[in-house]
Structure 1
Amino acid sequence: MKGSEYNTCVSVFFVGYITGQVPSNMLVTRVKPAYYMSGWMMAWAIVSTLICVVKDYHRMLACRLVLGLTEAPFYSGACYLVSLFYTRKEVATRLAVFYTGNLLASSFSGLIAAGVFAGLDGRHGMAGWRWLFLIQGVVTIGVAVVAFFVLPNAPLHTRWLTQEERELAHSRVAKDTTEKREGTSIWSGLWEAVTDYRTWVFALMGNLHLSANNFKNYLPTAVKSLGFSTTTTLVLTCPPYLIGGTTSVLVSWSSGRFNERTWHITGSKAVAIVGFAVATSTMNIGARYFAMVLFVAATYGVNNINVAWTSATVGQTDEKKAAAIAIVNTFGNLSFVYTPYLWPDSDSPLFRRAMVASIAFSLGVVLTGWAMKFVLKRANRKIRSTQDEAINLYAY
């Protein structure tokens, strides 16, 4: 590829990915999630595998677009499914554990890629990157088959729970939801999510957060700018994500343990801002690598808190919750359409444009979080003034 073609291939995936999330999450409230999500997992695994035979840029663009469409149902659907089983104090930690799988994949993909390029590049006439898509796609097909049997459905319809456990799983989340109402149609749920302005505040927060995380696809490029070989670069991308997975779980657990959102987001983004600032202000190799570890490690817990906060705040019905989660994730992923263009090769090695933008986006996340805190404090005062008995207030 040449020029901005790689950036465009990164971006076009998210065109498909963001298009399918809201319709899919509307549908997942009406079908069995275990079958629905494992089926889409199988679809994206097949598409990913077939990328290994792509011969030109335009076919790669088409495959990336279809790959985005087939992956769209999974993350929003998984977030919705987790929110059906866990209370507001529990869900962020569970989402963090779930998302740690993504971070571990980002971490070990560098090691796997290093091994593939070292041992298979050119074998049987196939370039290393083709082997990489083939291996990862085939493994994902196997995981999709297993998922068909082990993924749960909604609490009242999960086959491996007893009837008593099903009722308990359902009732504990219902009692924990502020202003909980009976279910409605999927279109009413979508309308309620769209017309609740809090959905859009969370969507803005998600967009700003993932815009600040625009380094994900370019971390190997940033690490390579330190002057290391390709293999060493791929290995060095591993530690930041390993540390990030650990801190993500810890921050999310703390947020749930203390039933607090705003300060956890503020603290995480403050550390990330320091990392972005150091990374673009010095040529010292050790300092720049430490800065990269810092901003990767500090920032990933924020997304879990935001999604959990969304499900607890605008989850009055399951249909509204599913639509709201998908809207938040959709607007978050819009960032991946435009942020690749913050990383032109001409900005190497400091990538000042991307780092300064990430600082600005991170500040936006903090401001949006505090705005939501103000909104929910006002809502709690209104609830207290209209209810005399024990009440379930919004957390912030």
Structure 2
Amino acid sequence: MVPPGSSSVGGATTTASTSRHSATNNNNELLLAEPSLHHLQDHHINSRQSNDNWLPGSDPPIMMQVMNNQDDSDGDNVYIDPKHEKRLIQRLDKRLLGFAMLGNMVKALDNSNLGSAFISGMEEELHITGLQYNWMSVIFMAGYLVMQIPSNMLLSRLRPSIYLPSLELIWCVLTLAMACVQSVNGVYVIRVLLGLAEAGFYPGIVFLIGTWYSKRELGKRMALLTICGALGTGSSGVIQAVMLTTMDGKLGISGWRWMFVFDACITAVLAWFGRQYLPDYPHNTSWLSNKERDIAIRRMGDDTSNKLHDSGLLVVPATGPHSKHESTSASVRKLLRNKYLYLFVLGWASLQLSLGAAHVLGIMAKKLGYDAVTANLLTTPDMLITMTAGLCNGFISDRMRTRFWCIVCPALLAFFGLGMLSSFVQPFGLLYASYICTHVGLGSITSIMMTWASETISRDIGVRALAIATMNTSASIMWLWSPLVLWPVTDAPRYHRGFTTSACCVVFFLMIVSIIGYNIHFKDRRSPIKPKNSSNNLRRQSSEIKEPLMSQRSYEED
């Protein structure tokens, strides 16, 4: 039971302090009479070390105190127990991250199936000629582009545990239809509908992950998400090769059609998993306990101010069933005023345009004389290496607390590889090594770039959803025309125009990243908080935080 005059918070009991460390907060401001911010920073390290040994009934460590209350008579202290926080993160990893990783793998597998099927018999069976194969990709991107932003706008207002699995179910039916298609026109229709269904998944899942995880946790998890996409793309060639050697002709069905049947079955299982286990938002996820819900909401607030993070002050945003929900027009206006949006959109678009070079290896190999099975299998080592590099890069970016250098260094490697590919170096082994350098360099920075954007642009839920969707829409626009202009199948195997343009895009991308890095690391840090003993100065500094502190309710420890 909770002792009188105290409240149970995050699995620990905190007693209201009436000493000089207490404070009141009537206007959602952070008030500290004593000690000052300088005093808090002096105790920062000791407070971190003493968290686990903190006993109920005593004042919590100074760094963990938040003066947050609507009752003048009682300054409630907020404490997040690391054990309970770790338990919450583990549950999120099993449910949210598990669904995201599997979903991205299946999405990448489905997108890669078209290329695998093309070199495995679909070209001959459906009598695909000229640029018809490229038009299949363009039409898919047209549907993807149309639904991208509307889908994320819907997601920010609907329950993700229903919306995302519903998209997966539609996706499953359309993938199964691909196994039954009999003409090029039928492929066109199915591909545009697939684009509409798949458009909401990746930006939606990135948005949802950014809602639940803190900045220090995002990098590695976004890397895992991207790696599973690479695994799906790499698995496509292996699975198609297996289908060609074991299932081709079974029940009168071609091997490339069995691939789509296999993909549809996996998607159906994923849709069921998502409906059962995917979370919504911290304030309305049904399988969270009250304790976990409060911890999740406070964790969201922990990222709202880098300026106060090192002093240990937790700031809780106005998120919950009673919080004010901004209109779409207000979110759009706020987004358009954000100086980083345009830089990230340009950078992301150039990165995605250069990534076109990473999707033509199978067709290159076939046009150079390799059989269908070998051409499919050649894509697998490349994907496995890219997957490993992406995972390592994500962990390094979190460990070193840097996004900038974990983007610049791989991009330089990609530029080297694209230069070699543009020259079409021989023998094939050297060409293959250049292709791996290109894919490793570009593929290992996509997750870091998206994480950086999610951290930098806004913590506002509506603005962030629109920003992520806008970035992905810019990428879709690039893919709307680049398959026809840069990567027409008639240019295989050299693709000189495509590889040269990709190299130029990498140079432009590096310029954009440098501008973003300069603004973040220099301009935005010229006026750091200076420790002063005046409570008025501290009050003025804390007023920069946009989210008001949420009032804390009491409950008995489970």
TM-score range, shorter chain: over 0.9
CA contact (8 A) 2:141 2:195 kept: yes
Q: How far is the alpha carbon of 1:47 from its aligned partner?
A: 0.8
1:90 aligns with 2:217: yes
Aligned to 1:366: 510
TM-score, normalization: structure 1?
0.92
Aligned to 2:371: 229
User: Residue 154 of structure 1: SS of its match in structure 2?
Assistant: coil
Separation (CA, whole Å) in 2 of partners of 1:20 and 1:346: 30
Aligned to 2:153: 26
- Residue among 253, 262, 266 paired with 1:126: 253
CA contact (8 A) 2:170 2:197 kept: yes
Map residues 1-396 of structure 1 onto 2, 5 A cutoff: 1-178=128-305, 182=318, 183-281=325-423, 282-341=425-484, 342-376=486-520, 377-381=522-526, 389=538
Q: How far is the alpha carbon of 1:178 from its aligned partner?
A: 4.2
CA contact (8 A) 1:204 1:332 kept: no
CA contact (8 A) 1:213 1:299 kept: yes
Separation (CA, whole Å) in 1 of partners of 2:181 and 2:260: 11
The one-letter amino acid of 2:156's match is T
Separation (CA, whole Å) in 2 of partners of 1:163 and 1:293: 48
Separation (CA, whole Å) in 1 of partners of 2:268 and 2:150: 24
Separation (CA, whole Å) in 2 of partners of 1:329 and 1:7: 20
Separation (CA, whole Å) in 1 of partners of 2:453 and 2:529: 21
Q: How far is the alpha carbon of 1:126 from its aligned partner?
A: 2.5
Q: How far is the alpha carbon of 1:39 from its aligned partner?
A: 0.7
Separation (CA, whole Å) in 1 of partners of 2:436 and 2:368: 14
CA contact (8 A) 2:130 2:490 kept: no
Separation (CA, whole Å) in 1 of partners of 2:463 and 2:348: 18
CA contact (8 A) 2:349 2:474 kept: yes
CA contact (8 A) 1:269 1:298 kept: yes
Separation (CA, whole Å) in 2 of partners of 1:61 and 1:7: 11
Provide, for residues 227-252 of structure 1, a one-character-per-residue CA deviation record: whole Å limited to 9, x for no partner: 42210111110011111111112112
CA contact (8 A) 2:139 2:192 kept: yes
Q: How far is the alpha carbon of 1:367 from its aligned partner?
A: 0.7
The one-letter amino acid of 1:366's match is L
User: Residue 170 of structure 1: SS of its match in structure 2?
Assistant: helix
Q: How far is the alpha carbon of 1:161 from its aligned partner?
A: 3.1
Greater mean deviation of Cα atoms: 69-78 or 157-166:
157-166
Separation (CA, whole Å) in 1 of partners of 2:183 and 2:330: 44
CA contact (8 A) 1:9 1:60 kept: yes
The one-letter amino acid of 1:237's match is T
Provide, for residues 242-293 of structure 1, a one-character-per-residue CA deviation record: whole Å limited to 9, x for no partner: 1111111211221222221222211011011111122232121111111112
CA contact (8 A) 1:225 1:348 kept: yes
TM-score, normalization: structure 2?
0.67
Q: How far is the alpha carbon of 1:5 from its aligned partner?
A: 0.6
Q: Are the structure 2 counterparts of residues 53 and 113 from structure 1 closer, same or farther at C-alpha, using a change threshold of 3 Å?
A: same
Provide, for residues 192-212 of structure 1, a one-character-per-residue CA deviation record: whole Å limited to 9, x for no partner: 223323112111111111111
Separation (CA, whole Å) in 1 of partners of 2:505 and 2:256: 32
Separation (CA, whole Å) in 2 of partners of 1:264 and 1:81: 23
The one-letter amino acid of 2:524's match is A
CA contact (8 A) 1:223 1:289 kept: no
Separation (CA, whole Å) in 2 of partners of 1:383 and 1:76: 33
Greater mean deviation of Cα atoms: 204-213 or 89-98:
89-98
Q: Are the structure 2 counterparts of residues 383 and 189 from structure 1 closer, same or farther at C-alpha, using a change threshold of 3 Å?
A: farther
CA contact (8 A) 2:352 2:475 kept: yes
The one-letter amino acid of 1:332's match is A
In our comparison, the structure showing a higher alpha carbon Rg is 2
Separation (CA, whole Å) in 2 of partners of 1:132 and 1:215: 24
Q: Percent identity?
A: 26
User: Residue 216 of structure 2: SS of its match in structure 1?
Assistant: coil
**Which runs of 5 or more residues in structure 2 are unaligned?**
1-127, 307-314, 319-324, 546-558
Provide, for residues 143-201 of structure 1, a one-character-per-residue CA deviation record: whole Å limited to 9, x for no partner: 21111111121123333333222222221232213499755223322332233231121
Q: Are the structure 2 counterparts of residues 115 and 157 from structure 1 closer, same or farther at C-alpha, using a change threshold of 3 Å?
A: same
The one-letter amino acid of 1:325's match is I
CA contact (8 A) 2:169 2:271 kept: yes
Greater share of helix? 1
**Which runs of 5 or more residues in structure 1 are unaligned?**
none
CA RMSD of aligned residues (A): 2.3
